[in-house]
Amino acid sequence: MFVLLAPGAAHARPGPLDTGSQPVDSYAGAIRQSVWVDTGLDGDHDGKTDRVAADIIRPSEPAAAGQKVPVIMDASPYYSCCGRGNESQVKTYDTSGNPVGFPLFYDNYFVPRGYAVVLVDLAGTDRSDGCVDVGGASDITSAKSVIDWLNGRATAYTTRTGGTTAQAGWSNGSVGMIGKSWDATVANGVAATGVDGLKTIVDISGISSWYDYYFAQGAALYDGGPDALASAVESSGAQSRCSAEQQALRTGAPRNGDWTTAWQDRDYYANASKVKASVFVAQGMQDLNVRTKNFGQWWDALAANGVQRKIWLSQTGHVDPFDYRRSAWVDTLHQWFDHYLMNVDNGVQSQPMADIERTPDHWTTDAVWPAPGTTATQVALKPGAANGLGTLSAGAPPATGTEKFTDNPARSEDDWAAQATQATADKASFTTGVLSSDLRLSGGGTVTLTATPSTTSAHLSAVLVDLGPATIRDYEAGGEGITTLGTRSCWGDSTSGDSACYLDTAADTESVQQTVFSRGWADLGHYAPSLKGVSLTPGKAYTITLQLASSDHVVPAGHRLALIVAGTDNGLIVAPSTKPAISIDLSRSSANLPLVGGLPALAHALHGASGQHAAAPAAPATAPSRGHDPTAALPASPAERLR
């Protein structure tokens, strides 16, 4: 059971707002300073340990009274090269190098409420020493060392090269990390070290395993590796001295999709048992940059280890909640940080665990997530009257049956979904009849396929599609589901050098006839759990289980659910070296879907109370593709997207 919230509505508080922090401190009069924290690493091999820059803004009133304050921290590689937020803000300084402008609203809103805000330049970026290692020891230690300094366990200096130390006597040692994309990824990695003092993290579209950012079970998601990403964010000084680290990134992350030690070192969810901090996840369910497998496996690992957690799932792509549900987001963050960093008993930890956007700007809540009653339910892939048009039904796989298709790298999931009920040579589509009741899927699933390729290499895609009319956020447009307006709203206090006023946004929507809501991709040569690829033997059958990325979607009564299996998903995975014909043995293939209510819910949706199949409507005319360029053979470089 979920509860419908009005557009943008926040949860009711268990008590009045004055039980939490109030804006009583001066933002204009806040203390602004920079320190350089010694990481103990020598990433650029210059014989000196690297120092990372941390810019600090903190209220002066608690300091004058001898009171210590908690810290909200965002560690990022983007403070000079690319900017943060919808307006690409960078740090600014006065002529003496003192910090003036702090990107995003965290300082404007939280410093008057008694928090310090600390923005850290990752090693190799902006004003920090060292080299960028894209999720490795340098990235994580950059932020962890600052937490250690805030807790008296590390040394900082007042300048980048000088010997005068800086003390953090104003800090009470409680730190909350926040950030989007790479910044959130660093927060995940630091939490996975179990560092003392980190009380909570707010993970907005973060990576939990860098392998799963670059590959999907051996299939390349981007035509480039982490060395290119490092080059995009490194300072000019780092670029001149970090050739060895660049080579290490190329060597450790081969483009063949194999699992290596370098990927293991950048796998944070494997260390979820070390996490002591609470975790607040915010994720766009249509994020095709940091794809949703990352949040799903992280969430499941945190749950298995009893970590306190909360989640927001939107219909957007790679978008910050500040830009799709601003008022509720700021209010919820305020409660979250007050509880975990100031020990305010405001009940935020007892509110519903999950907020989920069902249609643009309309949200529901669940007490826990995945939804109560969710069961991995086996669904059979059965042949139909024509090749490529099978059925999706409850139960065990059929005794016999095959479906065949030929990989066409010019075709995308949008093309497949638009022709889900039509036989085409590039896919196999398995659909239910018209559902007589709503069917909800909550979490991640799997599709096991026994596939025989005609060539030595093959890629596979599996997508879940809701067939029926809907209005959704246009996640494939430039704003990934939002439109930026010309008006501004203010969230905190401003100075001449740092405004608290940000451009407003609105939902960017479109009407569709079908919605892809979960995806999985794989290279068939990486069928083994070891993720060590092999050259395929044409004509030989291989069994592989594709992992469907986590989501939460309700297929309404009157719609149909489809599972489409195909080869290269144009624009989302890189094509293999061949264009194989692939035969799927349906007797050894099936799906396990996260159905709320399990098999009984599926049976009811398929057959209704009468036990009879609902009548299927006539197949619609071919709907247009939703924007993939069929001439664009490769996904965009991650260096252009991971912000």
In the DSSP assignment, the letter for residue 420 is: T
Q: Return d(Cα 167, Cα 149) in angstroms, integer.
A: 8
For the record, the structure tokens of 56 come out as: 């600090």
**Calpha distance 417→434 (Å, rounded):** 16
Q: Which of 167, 69, 60, 189 is nearest to 122 (CA)?
A: 189
Beta bridge partners of 314: 284
What angle (nearest 5°) sits at the alpha carbon of residue 507, between those of residues 501 and 509? 155
Q: Give me the catalytic one of 318, 334, 553, 628.
A: 318
Q: Is the dihedral of CA 27, 29, 30, 36 positive or negative?
A: positive
Q: Count Cα atoms within 13 angstroms, Cβ side, for 372.
A: 8
- Where b means 16+ CB within 10 Å and e means fewer, 343-358 reads ebebebeebbbbbbbb
State both tokens at 501. 């006023």
Catalytic residue among 128, 181, 209, 461: 181
Per annotation, catalytic residue among 126, 148, 287, 366: 287
Q: H or E element: which one contains 184?
A: helix 182-191
The reply to whether omega before 370 is within 30° of 0 (cis) is yes
The pairing of strands 171-180 and 69-76 is parallel
With CA atoms as reference, report the closest residue to 375 among 394, 357, 390, 351: 394
Question: Any catalytic annotation for residue 287?
Answer: yes
Helix (H, G, I), strand (E, B) or coil at 532: coil
Can you read off the two tokens belonging to residue 365?
A: 């809540």
Tell me which residue has tokens 């060539």.
455
User: Counting beta carbons within 10 angstroms of the beta carbon of residue 191, is it exposed (0 to 12), middle (13 to 18) or buried (19 or more)?
Assistant: buried
Tokens (6 digits) for 604: 């009811």
Instruction: Say whether 318 is catalytic.
Output: yes
Single-letter amino acid, residue 278: S
The single-letter code of the amino acid at 323 is D
Site of tokens 């989007």: 180
3-state helix, strand, coil in the chain (%, to 5): 20, 35, 45
Residues with catalytic function: 181, 287, 318
